Amino acid sequence: MAIAVVYMTKEFGFTSSIQGVILSSFFLGYLTTQVLGGALADKYGGKWVLSVSAASWTLFTFLTPISANFGLGYLIICRILLGIGEGACFPSVNTLIAAWFPTEEGNKAVSTTVSSAYIGIVIALPISTWLGSGPLGWHSIFWTFGTAGFVWSILWQIYGKSSPNEYSGISQEELDLISKTKKKNKPSKNLSYHIIESSEIAIESTSENDNTISDAPLTNFTVEDNNFEAEADVLLPENLILANPKDVPWKFLLSRREVWAILITQFCNSFGNFIILNWLPIYFLDRFKLNLKNFGYYSVLPYATQGTTGILAGIICDYAINKLNIRIKTVRRGAQLIGAIGTSTFLLCTAYLAQTPLQGIILISIGTALNSFFSCSVHVSQLDIAPRYAGAIYGLGNTCAGIPAVLGVAFTGWILDVTNRNWNIIWILVTIFYATGSIFFVKWVGHKVITG
C-alpha cells in the first residue's frame, strides 16, 4: 500500500494527511483482532485461525481498488476490514511456533518469521512499482497480491497443521525432539512448591531427598518476585505450561511486570517501525526527488538487509543462550538495545548527514538491519515467560502495537502538512519512542515461566 498510495494520490489528489489516514486505517482494524486471534489460536489451534485470517485479507485485497473507485470512505472501510482479517495472522503464527519448534529454537523461529515478512516486502516493492507504472495501473497491484494470497490459502488449508502430532509427514525422531525440549520444563528433584498468603507459589531449593512434589495442575499462582534476579532459569511443571487453556487469565497476566515490559515496548517500538514501513518510500521520494518508476528497485536494500539480518540475529541470540550460556534476560536486553540504538542512530544520520540517494539508502539500510534484532527481544519474550499463553500475550502486545500504528502513521501525515514536510521532526519522535520502550524493557523484562 505504501507504493500504491503514491499512484493513487496522482489520480485522486490525496494530501499527506489523507494518505496518513488511508495507511493507518488498516491498523485500526488490525488491532481489533490481535487478542481475539491469539486467544482463539491458543484454544483451537493456529491452523484454523490463520486460515480464516488469510481468506479474509485476500478477499479485501481484491476489493481495495473497487472500493477506492466508489470513494474515500469506502476505501477506508475496506482497509479497516482488511486489517481485521489480517490481525489474527501473527498471533496465530506465534501459537504455531510454540507448538512446532523445540524450545531452544524459539529465537530462530520467531526471527525467521519476522524476517520473512521483510523478504516479502523486498519482493513486493519492485513488483508494485512495475505494476503501478504498467498499462493496468495501480489496480493491478491489488489483483496480483490478492491472487497470491488466494493460492497460498488453498495450500495452507491442504498442508497446514496446528501441531506436529496432526501432521502425518513428521518422523518419530522429530516428534521426540520437540517433546523432549518441552519436557525440560519439568522441575528437578531439588525444587518444591508451597502456598504463600497471597495465593502465590514460591520456588525454593531443597535437599536432594525432598521429593514431595506434585504435578497436579494449579490454577492461581505465580513465581515469587524475591527470586526475580536469580541467575538460573526456573522452570515449572510441564502440565502447567503445555495444557490447552480454556480461559486466558488476563487479570493474572496483567499483574506481571514481565508482561507489561512486552506491552509497553511493543507500543513504543511499533511507533517507529510502522512509520518506517509506511512512510519510508514517500520520504525518499520527497527528500531525494527520486523517479517513482525506479524507486521500487532502489528501495529494496533496506528491507533486504532487515530480512537477512533478522535470520542472523536469531542464530546469534540462540547461540548466545544455548552455547555461551548467557542469561536469557541479558540476551533479550541486548537485542532490544541494539535494535533501538542502531535504528535511531542511522535514522538521524540519514536525516542530517545524507546528501545523495545512495548515502541515504545505505544509512537507512544499516539502521533497518539493526532493527531486526527486535525480533529477538520483545517479539519472543512471551515464549520465555508464558508459552502456554504465547498467542494471547502476543495478540495483546500486537494490540498495543496497533495503537501507535493507527495514530502514529496518521499523525505523520498531519505533521508533514503543517510543517511544510519537515521529516526531521518525525525521526526525532521515532528516536524518543525507541528510547522509552528500551528503558521499560531493560528494567522489567522477564525470563522465567509464569502461569496462572
Can you give the C-alpha Rg of the chain in angstroms? 23
DSSP of 232-279: SPP---HHHHSS--SS--HHHHTT-HHHHHHHHHHHHHHHHHHHHHHH
The DSSP line for 158-182 is HH--SSGGG-TT--HHHHHHHHHHH
Q: What is the mean pLDDT of residues 387-396?
A: 78
> Where does the chain hold its CATH 1.20.1250.20 domain(s)?
4-169+251-444
β-sheet bridge partners, residue 195 = 201
Q: What pLDDT, on the 0 to 100 scale, is given for residue 237?
A: 31
pLDDT band with cut points at 50, 70 and 90 for residue 184: low
State pLDDT tens for residues 318-329.
899 889 999 989
Listed in sequence order, the residues at least 6 apart from 247 whose beta carbon sits closer than 8 Å to its beta carbon are none
User: Cα separation of 39 and 389, whole Å?
Assistant: 8
**CA 335: distance to chain centroid?**
14
The residue among 435 and 285 whose pLDDT is bigger is: 435
d(CA 362, CA 346): 9
CA distance 283 to 441: 29
**CA-to-CA distance for 145 and 423, rounded, in angstroms?**
30
Spatial distance between the Cα atoms of 205 and 33, rounded to a whole number of angstroms: 42
Residue 100 has pLDDT above 90, yes or no: no
State yes or no: pLDDT of 44 exceeds 60.
yes
Residue 50 to residue 95: CA distance in whole angstroms:
10
Who has greater pLDDT, 310 or 372? 372
Mean pLDDT, the chain, whole residue set: 80
Q: Choose the most confident range, by mean pLDDT, from 155-159, 376-380, 400-404.
A: 155-159
Please report where in the chains the cell 504463600 appears, as a residue.
196
C-alpha cell at 162: 496446528
- Assign 30 a pLDDT band (cuts: 50, 70, 90): confident
Decide if 93 contacts 112 (C-beta within 8 A).
no
Q: Which residues pair with 203 in a beta bridge?
A: 193
Residue 114: its pLDDT value, please?
72
Provide the pLDDT for residue 19: 92
The pLDDT of residue 297 = 66
| Residue 284: pLDDT band with limits 50, 70, 90 | confident
Q: What is the mean pLDDT of residues 212-225?
A: 36
pLDDT of residue 399: 79
What is the 3 state secondary structure string of 358-383?
Answer: HHHHHHHHHHHHHHHHHHHCHHHHHH
C-alpha of 425 from chain center: 26
- For residue 155, give the 3-state DSSP assignment: helix
First to last CA, the chain: 41
The amino acid that residue 358 corresponds to is L
Q: What pLDDT digit, counting tens, does each position of 191-213 carry?
A: 222 222 333 333 333 333 333 33
Q: Does 287 score more than 70 pLDDT?
A: yes
CA nearest to 382, candidates 285, 447, 298: 447
Of 210 and 266, the one with more pLDDT: 266
Contacts of 231 (CB under 8 A, 6+ apart): 327
Cβ-Cβ contacts under 8 Å for 158 (sequence gap 6 or more)? none
Q: Following DSSP, what letter does each residue of 299-362 receive, concatenated?
A: THHHHHHHHHHHHHHHHHHHHHHHTS---HHHHHHHHHHHHHHHHHHHHHHHHHT--SHHHHHH
Query: Which is nearest to 126 in space by CA: 295, 358, 257?
Result: 295
Q: What is the pTM of this model?
A: 0.69
Considering only 79-83, 209-213, 405-409, which range has the smallest mean pLDDT?
209-213
Could you tell me if residue 249 is left (phi over 0), alpha (psi between -120 and 50 degrees) or otherwise beta? beta
Secondary structure (3-state) at 422:
coil
At the second CATH level, the architecture of 4-169+251-444 is Up-down Bundle (1.20)
Q: What is the Cα 328 distance to its own chain's centre?
A: 19
